[in-house]
Amino acid sequence: MVASPDSLDPVVERQVAVDLFNHVWRLLDSEQRTAAENDALIHAAHASRWHWGRVGGPEQWAIGEWQCSRVYAVLGRGEPALFHAQRCLDLCNENGLESFVPASAHEALARAYAVLGDVDQAQIERNLAYQLAVALDDDDDRAVIEADLSTLPL
């Protein structure tokens, strides 16, 4: 008998979402990935986002979209990177999200535009992300955004 997604305990499902999210980061941090690991990046990022859609809230949904965007950008796939970055920003706007998440959305947009070769729009989004980052009260959040911005392929 196969369990349906509705039969997952919410605590277990939340842990699955976290574990998948962290698995994506381990793969992203890998110096040399195989084609199968690149496929796993895509599938795990989407699976994490799906589970967060069931047990998380708007902030987790937006962060999940951001991670999907990062995966596609790392893999050189600009169009889906842009789609998920824009979805991240839309979720921020629709839900009044603050803190580091809107800055991350603009960082993701900058990265996606850079992958697409639109340097002008990438710079605009980078500048928006930086403006939001410097206004953050949390030093750790600011440092994470600034570190991400420093890796933009511009």
| CATH code for position 94 | 1.25.40.10
- Asked whether residue 3 is assigned to any structural domain, the reply reads no
Confidence of residue 5 (pLDDT cuts 50, 70, 90): low
Q: Is the separation of the CB atoms in 104 and 88 below 8 Å?
A: yes
Identify the pLDDT of residue 4: 62
Region 65-74 average pLDDT: 98
State the pTM of this model.
Answer: 0.94
Q: What is the mean pLDDT of residues 45-52?
A: 97
* pLDDT of residue 27 exceeding 80: yes
Question: Looking at this protein, which amino acid is placed at residue 71?
Answer: V
- Position 7 scores a pLDDT of 76
Q: Which domain holds residue 71?
A: 10-150
- Residue 1 within a domain: no
> Amino acid letter at 107?
E
Residue 4, in any domain of the structure: no
2 lies in some domain: no
pLDDT at residue 132 is higher than 70: yes
pLDDT bracket for residue 2 (50, 70, 90) = low
Counting the structural domains of the chain, the total is 1
Give φ, ψ of 34 to 5 degrees. Answer: -80, 170
